[in-house]
Amino acid sequence: MEKAINYIQTNYNRGGGYIGMECGLKTIDSATDGFIKKDVVVIAARPSLGKTLLATSICDGLSKNNKVAIFELE
């Protein structure tokens, strides 16, 4: 509970917005509240639905201010 309260307080002190890092895709940023460092994100869906394109778009947006690594298993 203390960790959640600290996140809320930090966000309030910054004036609102996303807690984590923004990727530039507004719908993804809104759904995740930004990506938190050291989190592992798994994108899963049926074949040919654009998972690789989504992952590269997210990483492109995140890489402007952060280090990003992509591991693709096909």
Cite the active site residues: 74
- What the block records as the tokens of 43 is 């994108």
Integer Cα distance of 30 and 38 in angstroms = 19
Integer Cα distance of 21 and 65 in angstroms = 9
Integer Cα distance of 28 and 24 in angstroms = 8
